Amino acid sequence: MLARASQLFLPTLRDAPADAEAVSHKLLVRGGFIRQLSAGVWTFLPLGWRVHQKIVQIIREEMDAIGGQEMLMPVLTPAELWEQTGRSDIPEIFHLEDRTGRRFVLPMTHEETITFHAKEIQSYRQLPQILYHFAVKNRDEPRPRGGLLRVREFIMKDAYSFDRDDEGLDISFRKHAGAYDRIFERCGLEVQPVQAESGMMGGKESIDYLAPSGSGENTLVTCEHGDYAADLEVAHGIPRPPEFPAQLAAPAEIHTPDVTTIDALAAFLGVDTAATSKAMPVVTSDGTVVLGLVRGDDRLEEAKLAAALGSAVRPATVDEIRAAFGADPGSLGPIGFAGPVVADESLREGQFVAGANTTGWHLRGVEAGRDFAPRFADIRESKDGDACPNCGGRLRFQTAIEVGHIFKFGSRYSEPLDATFVDEDGQEKLLIGGSYGIGPGRIMAALVEQRHDENGIVWPAAVAPYHAHIVGLAGGEEIAAGTASELAAYGFDVLLDDRVGRAGEKFADADLLGCPVRVTVGKKSVEDNAVDVRSRAADEDTRIPITDVVTWMEEH
RNA sequence: CGGGGUGUAGCUCAGCCUGGUUAGAGCGCCCGUUUUGGGGGCGGGAGGCCGUCGGUUCGAAUCCGACCACCCCGACCA
C-alpha cells in the first residue's frame, strides 16, 4: 500500500495546541492523527484512523482465536431495556427522544442489548458463547480530558460471554485474560494486569489492565520485587509502624485550643503523626453518618470505605457533623459517637490520640477494643513509603491509563431481562455472563505516552500508520517514487513524501509521525544508486544500495 | 457540580490595565527568486463578526453585565 503525502489529508502542526498537557494529546494533534470537535469528542483523521484500525485488527484476530464471534449492535437503544436493569439512572447515560416522545439511550456498554439477544439461547447445547463487536460508546463524562485519555464518545471492543455455570464463566474469563495479554504484547504496549475495584454493579472477579504513562487517571501500585500490582483504589500497602508514647490505663483529656490539623496536633503534643488518629465522617446513601477512622498520617480511601459499607459515601457537611458529634471538625473521635465506626486495620494495635468530640479537646491513650468498638477494614489510601503486603519490599506508584477491563457479572443482566436456558437436567436456569472491554483509542494514546522522544512518536511496527516513510528530496523524486512502489509491491505500507519542500521540514515531519523506518532519497542517489535508511528509534543513517532496501526492511 | 484560567488570522501569541488612524507579530499558506540533505534567505500577496448578546460612551478588541465555548485542579468515573 502506497500513500503520497502530496495528496494526503495530513495537517501537521509546528506548535502543539496551547491547551494540551498530555504528551499523547500534543503529539497526536501535531502529527495530524486526531482533531478535536468539541470537549471530549474527537475525529480520527486518515493517519490516526490507520493506527486505530491496525490496533482493531490485532484485537479482532486475538478475539477470533479464542472463539469470539464478531457482530454489530446499534448505538440507538430503547430506554425500557435500561430501565429493566436499573441502569438508566446512571448519570453518564445520554438520553434522547424520537419525534413521538419515545425514549432512547446512547449506551455506555452493551450488556442490555447482548442479553436481549441472548434470550434466543434455548439450550445448554448452544453454550458457551463469546460474542463481540467494535462499536461507538457514549458517556456523558462530567470532565473529559487529555485528548484521547478521557472522552465522551469512543470506539470500544466489548465482548460478552454466556455460560451454563460459574465453572464455564471461569473458563471464558481466563480465555479473555489470555487474549488480552497477547493483544497488548502484539501492540507493543507495556501493561500491568491488576485486581480491580469490582464496582457497585454486580462485579465479582475483575481485572483492570493499566498502562504506565506520563498522564492518566489511575495510579498503578507495584512492588519493587515484582510480586504485587494493584490499582491505588484497592492497593493494600503496609504502613510504617508508629512511634507510640507511653501507654495509659485510660484515655486522658487534653485541652488543645485552636489545634485542628494533624500536624498541629502532633507538634502540640510532641508525638508522631502516625500515633494520632484522623476522623473522617461520611454519609451513606441512606443518610447514615458513619465515622471512618484512619491514622493521622494516612488519607481515607473513600472507594474502600464505600466497598466496606456496600454503599456510596460522601463527606459529611459541617452541619451534619455538628449534629452527629456535638463538636466541630478537628476535634472529632470515636468515643462518645453513637453511630457506626469503621476503623482502618492500622488502628487495631496500640494507643492513639483522638478527638474528644468537644471542640478544643482531644484524648490521649485511646485504644480500639478497650475504649470503643469499631468494625475494622482496610480503608486507608496506600502511599509512598508503604511496604509490599507480600514481601515487605518498597511499593512504587505510577500514573497509568486503564486500557482494558474484564469482569464476571454472573446473572446481573440475565435475571432482570429473564434470559434463561434449559440445562441438561431439564431445569430452566439463568445465563451466566462476563463482559470484556478494551479501548483501541486509549491503547493508541498509551503507546504514544510510552514511546516517544523530543521529536515525535516512535510507533511499534505492528501499529504504525506506515512501515516506511520515504523522504524524497529535490533531485531524487523519481528514484524515491520507484523505491516506494517497490516496497509497496513487497507488501509494505509506504508513505512517500513527494511534497514540494525542503529537507528539514520533511525530516521533522518524519520524526513527528514516527514510522519505524525512514528512507531518504536525494540527488546523490542518482549517482551512486544508494539511499539512506534509519530506524526511527536510531539517530544515524546507514547508506545502502537501493537494491538492498527490501532486505533491510525485512530485517528491521 | 465546586475552584482557577482562557477566548484576537489555519497554529502560537502581542495589543486590553490607561477606550480614539486602516487591529499587529512569528510560524503556516499563495506567487516570484535563491544550487534547495535537519523547519534556510530575499521580495511580494491573501487571510479577522477581536467567542455571543446586551450596556456605558461622541467613539469599545479595550470598560461593565449576562451567556456560550474550551482548558486545568477537585468531585465524579457500571
Q: Is A303 within 8 Å of A234 (Cβ atoms)?
A: yes
Query: CA-to-C1' distance for A17 and B16, Å?
Result: 23
C-alpha–C-alpha distance, residues A337 and A353, integer Å: 16
**Which residues touch A38 (CB under 8 Å, ≥6 apart)?**
none
For A361, the grid coordinates are 479537646
A199 nearest nt, CA–C1': B78
Q: Are residues A361 and A419 in the same domain?
A: no
Chosen domain end from A387, A416, A448: A448
The answer to whether A31 and A148 are in contact (CB under 8 A) is no
Q: Is residue A247 part of a domain?
A: no
In three-state secondary structure terms, A528 is helix
Q: Do A67 and A121 belong together in one domain?
A: yes
Regarding whether A210 and A305 lie in a shared domain, the answer is no
Nearest residue by alpha-carbon distance to C1' of B38: A504
Strand locations in A427-529 (E): 428-430, 432-438, 452-453, 456-457, 468-472, 494-497, 517-521
pLDDT for residue A198 is more than 60: no
Q: Does the interface ipTM go beyond 0.85? A: yes
Q: Determine the distance between A478 (CA) and B55 (C1') in angstroms.
A: 65
Nucleotide B27's nearest residue (CA vs C1') is A14
pLDDT, position A285? 82
The answer on pLDDT for A214 being more than 70 is: yes
Cα–Cα distance for residue pair A407/A202, rounded to 1 Å: 10
Residue A13: per-residue pLDDT: 92
Domain assignment present for residue A487? The answer is yes
Other Cβ atoms less than 10 A from the Cβ of A87: the count is 20
Alpha-carbon gap, residue A159 to A141, rounded angstroms: 22
Confidence of residue A203 (pLDDT cuts 50, 70, 90): low
Asked if A374 and A295 touch (Cβ cutoff 8 Å), the reply is no
Judge whether A407 lies within some domain: yes
As a rounded value in angstroms, the CA-to-C1' distance for A315 and B2 is 14
In this structure, the answer to whether residues A73 and A207 fall within a common structural domain is yes
Helices A46-65 and A440-450 pack at an angle, to 10 degrees, of: 110
**Measured between alpha carbons, how far is A253 from A352 in angstroms, rounded to an integer?**
12
Residue at A245 is within a domain: no
| Claim to verify: residue A487 and residue A424 sit in the same structural domain | no
Return the percentage of chain A with pLDDT > 90, whole number. 83
Sign of the Cα pseudo-torsion (A366, A370, A372, A376, in order): positive
The pLDDT, as a whole number, for residue A448 is: 96
A40 within a domain of the structure (yes/no): yes
C1' of B65 to CA of A25 (Å): 36
Alpha-carbon span A183 to A195, nearest angstrom: 19
Q: Assess contact for A472 and A531: CB atoms under 8 A.
A: no
Percent of chain A with pLDDT over 70: 99
A137-141, A263-267, A505-509, A512-516: segment of lowest average pLDDT = A263-267
CA of A345 to C1' of B23 (A): 66
* A437: nt with nearest C1' to CA: B78
A117: left (phi over 0), alpha (psi -120 to 50) or beta: alpha
Q: Is A30 helix (H, G, I), strand (E, B) or coil?
A: helix
- Residue A202, pLDDT > 50, answer no
| A38 CA → B16 C1’, Å | 28
How sure is the predictor about A295, in pLDDT bands with cuts at 50, 70 and 90? very high
Tell which wins on pLDDT, A136 or A197. Answer: A136
Which nt is closest to the CA of A502, judged by C1'? B36
Average pLDDT, integer, range A272-288? 90
Q: How far is the CA of A37 from the C1' of B56 (A)?
A: 37
CA distance A181 to A69: 19
Taking only Cα atoms into account, the Rg of chain A, rounded to an integer number of angstroms, comes to: 29
- CA A336/CA A125 separation, integer angstroms: 61
Identify whether residues A51 and A194 lie together within a single domain.
yes
Domain identity same for A221 and A72: yes
| CATH code of the domain in which A180 resides | 3.30.930.10
Q: Pick from A417, A448, A479: which residue ends a domain?
A: A448
Rounded to whole angstroms, the distance from the CA of residue A437 to the C1' of nucleotide B41 is: 55
My answer on whether A412 and A521 are in the same domain is: no
Contact A472, A208 (CB under 8 A): no
pLDDT tens column, A55-73: 999 999 999 999 999 999 9
Nearest to A532 by CA among A541, A523, A545: A541
**Residue located via cell numbers 469482569:** A407
Shared-domain flag, residues A71 and A110: yes
CA of A509 to C1' of B39 (A): 9
Instruction: Decide: A97 and A87 in contact? Cβ < 8 Å.
Output: no
Contact, A240 vs A415, CB < 8 A? no
The domain spanning residue A302 has which CATH number? Answer: 3.90.960.10
Indicate whether A219 and A71 sit together in one domain. yes
In this complex, the nucleotide whose C1' atom is nearest to the CA atom of residue A11 is B10
| Residue–nucleotide distance: A210 CA to B77 C1' (Å) | 15
Q: Which nucleotide is nearest to A510 (CA to C1')?
A: B38
A117 with A166, same domain? yes
Residue A158 lies in a domain: yes
Tell me the per-residue pLDDT of A313-364, one tens digit each, with 9 for 90 and over: 888 888 888 888 988 888 899 999 989 999 999 999 999 999 999 999 999 9
Distance separating alpha carbons of residues A237 and A304, to the nearest angstrom:
13
Which nucleotides of chain B does any protein CB come within 7 A of? 1-2, 5, 11-13, 26-29, 36-40, 69-78
Domain that holds residue A518: 466-555
Whichever domain contains A525, its CATH number is: 3.40.50.800
Find which nucleotide's C1' atom is closest to A150's CA.
B77
Measured CA to CA, the distance from residue A223 to residue A3 in angstroms comes to: 46
Nearest nucleotide to the CA of A109, by C1', is B78
Q: Which residues contact A492 (CB under 8 A, 6 or more apart)?
A: A1, A466, A467, A468, A553
Name beta bridge partners: A354. Answer: A363
Cα(A70)–Cα(A91) distance, rounded to whole angstroms? Answer: 29
Q: Which nucleotide is nearest to A40 (CA to C1')?
A: B70
Q: CA A407, CA A173: separation in Å to the nearest integer?
A: 7
Residue A197 confidence class, pLDDT cut points 50, 70, 90: low
Indicate if A493 and A403 belong to the same structural domain. Answer: no
Distance from residue A34's CA to nucleotide B25's C1', rounded to whole Å: 28
Our count of domains for chain A comes to 3
Nearest nucleotide to A302 (CA to C1') is B75
Has residue A2 been placed in a domain? no
Ordered DSSP codes for A243-307: ------SS-EEEE-TT--SHHHHHHHHT--GGGBEEEEEEEETT--EEEEEEETTS-B-HHHHHH
Q: How far is CA A46 from CA A34, A52, A252, A465, in A?
A: 9, 10, 71, 9
- The answer to whether residue A11 sits within a structural domain is no
Min mean pLDDT across A86-90, A282-286, A334-338 is at A282-286
